[in-house]
Structure 1
Amino acid sequence: MELRQLHYFVKVAKKQHVTQASEELHVAQSAVSRQIRQLEQELGVTLFVQKGRNLQITPVGKLFLSRIEEILNELDRAVVEVKEFLDPTRGEIRIGFPHSLGIALLPTVIAKFRQHYPDVKFKLRQGTFFSLIRDVIEGEIDLSFISPFPESHNYVSGEILLTEELFGILPDTHPLAGEATIRLDQLKDEPFVMFSDAYSLRTIVLQACKKAGFVPQIGFEGEETDTIRGLVAAGLGVSLMPEMALMETSKLQPARVRVIEPTVTRTIGLIRRKSEKLSPVVQAFREFLLDYFGHDRNQ
């Protein structure tokens, strides 16, 4: 069974006339008739019966037609998707991101990219450090922002895009709230509001506290930057938060102070499956991000 036969069959079924079908197909009438006969022989059924000058489709022909139309429509959609995949001005980009980057960074870079590629679609997936790496490895997403950047990994590779400072956040009534800078060990007796175990920011904060010579008392845990910020603003503890996560304002807003001794930072990177060729549209977005963050691709 050939694809050409199926197209001829559908056209004849719609026109109920071989001559009219052949004219629209721009092929000889005899060629259309021959392909229909071959299709009937292969299926072992009669698809059409003569009715005057026209052809009438048989009941089994109607059944076959309904299924073939579905198949041909799916095939047409598949061809469109392949063309979009290969066209860097169209297609779809599947990208992952941690929650803290979804507030400002991700919307900003997507909006700027779509100024140049307005027809590109994005499928977004939020996740934790390990879930994002897993989704990239398993092919669920094409690229992912990630923090901290995994310097060495067997299955993913990428680039550091930027390094971001973490600030201390305190209730606005805290004695240190008005200071320009504080040492991290000045918070050693305070209850900390921490991210849960699944989030890499928790590890960064714990390591910073260890470097400052203490183990933080954990008073509350949460999974969203809004939750952490709100609990601190309500006077339930202190925390460290990336600068980008503090850009959004709300009614409950904590005080922000710069932390020294040690300065606390995190790396933000872009990862993809190692040694895999990206589609043109995904590669275009990757190159846009490298340029946007001033990354030297020759390093």
Structure 2
Amino acid sequence: MLSTEIRYFLAVVNTGSLSAASQQLFVAVSAISRQIQRLEKQVGAPLFDRHARGMALNEAGEIFAHHVHKNMLDMEYALAEIKGLNAVRRTLIRIACTDGLAFTLLPRMIADFRVHNPGVLFEVKVLSTQGVAEALRNGDCDVALQFSLHAERGVDVVGSWPAPVLIVMHHSHPLAKATHVTLADLNHYPLALPQQNTTVRQLFELASHMSGCLLEPVMTCDTFSMLFQFLLRTPQAVTICSAFTVLQEAETHGLILRSVGIDQLSQRTLQLQTHSGRPRSAALNVFLTFLLQQLDALEEPLRQRWKP
């Protein structure tokens, strides 16, 4: 249902050049070029910066592309309603989340939700913090669940819960029974940390810098599952995460979560997000309500159990 100009425009945006778009569409380069020029004439401004190696959206092009994607999403929702696909029993929900939430929290919540809504399908993308924000803004997901340090542009925060960074160790660890744990104490034990592009690592590095304590990890990894398995097999090891990340796994595997009482480690929240102004399907509204109820129920006992 897209016009020829828009189809060709999107092809050039996605491929980065007229020649690549020509190969994708099986249309002559000259034909694509004419349609792009016609579109730019209608818009009243150039949409691309032309380079020897291809074409890149300029500021006007970015604005135009954003509205094209938004209109495409609106059309998808309209068609879904017409066809009756917005019923809870026949809907796909696309979720973007960061790695820590994909470890146990989100899989369990999806499984629990589907007990009473077995017809709802899920597509989950595990991305970086920046990737989750981009997926939500670009319409590549319907809902996002991530740990955040600040408000995101073009995002509605449906729910927010404190998610301080905690120290995780085995219950037999020498620091497990200490009345007070400091970052300096961690220097004596194998430290396993997430990669530096994660909010948990960023806050940990900030706190370490502010306290004048330089900590060198023995291992870094971009998946919490590996950090978790390393911790289980190395009784002296320490890692970091939110209480939301491990949930029942801490008790099941005999792990202790401790706060070090540093303000910088408490600046993070767990946020449930949707795209601002985008219509929601019936199933998505039901799922959001379910997540809000579940996370509200989890947050209070977690805070009480692992308080400083």
Task: Compute the TM-score of the two structures, normalised by the length of structure 1.
Answer: 0.60
CA distance in 1 between counterparts of 2:271 and 2:165 reads 16
| Cα distance change, pair 169–291 in 1 and its aligned pair in 2 (3 A) | closer
CA distance in 1 between counterparts of 2:236 and 2:174 reads 14
Please name the residue that 1:50 is paired with.
Answer: none
Whose Rg is larger? 1
Question: Gaps (5+ residues) in structure 2?
Answer: 1-77, 298-308
8 A Cα contact 1:229 1:254, kept in partner: no
Please name the residue that 1:108 is paired with.
Answer: 108
Shift of 1:257: 4.5
User: Which stretch has the larger CA shift, 269-278 or 158-167?
Assistant: 158-167
Please name the residue that 1:147 is paired with.
Answer: 147
Deviations 1:17-67 (A, max 9, x none): xxxxxxxxxxxxxxxxxxxxxxxxxxxxxxxxxxxxxxxxxxxxxxxxxxx
Q: Secondary structure at the match of 1:146?
A: strand
Q: Determine what percentage of the aligned residue pairs are the same residue.
A: 20
CA distance in 2 between counterparts of 1:98 and 1:162 reads 15
**Does 2:94 correspond to 1:94?**
yes
| Cα distance change, pair 237–288 in 1 and its aligned pair in 2 (3 A) | closer
CA distance in 2 between counterparts of 1:197 and 1:289 reads 28
CA distance in 1 between counterparts of 2:280 and 2:192 reads 40
| Cα distance change, pair 257–276 in 1 and its aligned pair in 2 (3 A) | closer
Deviations 1:153-186 (A, max 9, x none): 2222213432234332346775324335413332
- Higher share in strand: 1
CA distance in 2 between counterparts of 1:286 and 1:155 reads 18
Deviations 1:57-101 (A, max 9, x none): xxxxxxxxxxxxxxxxxxxxx978953532234311111122221
Please name the residue that 1:291 is paired with.
Answer: 293
Q: 2:201 is matched by which residue type in structure 1?
A: R
Structure 1 segment 63-212 matched on structure 2, within 5 A:
83-148=83-148, 150-151=150-151, 153-170=152-169, 174-179=173-178, 181-188=180-187, 192-212=191-211
8 A Cα contact 1:157 1:271, kept in partner: yes
Question: Gaps (5+ residues) in structure 1?
Answer: 1-77
CA distance in 2 between counterparts of 1:82 and 1:94 reads 20
CA distance in 1 between counterparts of 2:280 and 2:82 reads 14
Q: Secondary structure at the match of 2:279?
A: coil
Please name the residue that 2:278 is paired with.
Answer: 276
8 A Cα contact 1:184 1:209, kept in partner: yes
| Cα distance change, pair 289–255 in 1 and its aligned pair in 2 (3 A) | closer
Task: Give the superposed CA RMSD.
Answer: 3.3
Task: Compute the TM-score of the two structures, normalised by the length of structure 2.
Answer: 0.59
**Does 2:220 correspond to 1:221?**
yes
Q: Secondary structure at the match of 2:148?
A: coil
- Higher share in helix: 2
CA distance in 2 between counterparts of 1:203 and 1:93 reads 30
Please name the residue that 1:267 is paired with.
Answer: 269
Q: Secondary structure at the match of 1:140?
A: coil
CA distance in 2 between counterparts of 1:177 and 1:79 reads 56
Structure 1 segment 240-259 matched on structure 2, within 5 A:
240-247=240-247, 256-259=256-259
CA distance in 2 between counterparts of 1:222 and 1:126 reads 15
8 A Cα contact 2:166 2:241, kept in partner: yes
Q: Secondary structure at the match of 2:167?
A: strand
CA distance in 1 between counterparts of 2:173 and 2:295 reads 36
CA distance in 2 between counterparts of 1:172 and 1:292 reads 27
Q: How many residues are paired up? A: 216
8 A Cα contact 1:135 1:141, kept in partner: yes
8 A Cα contact 1:180 1:257, kept in partner: no
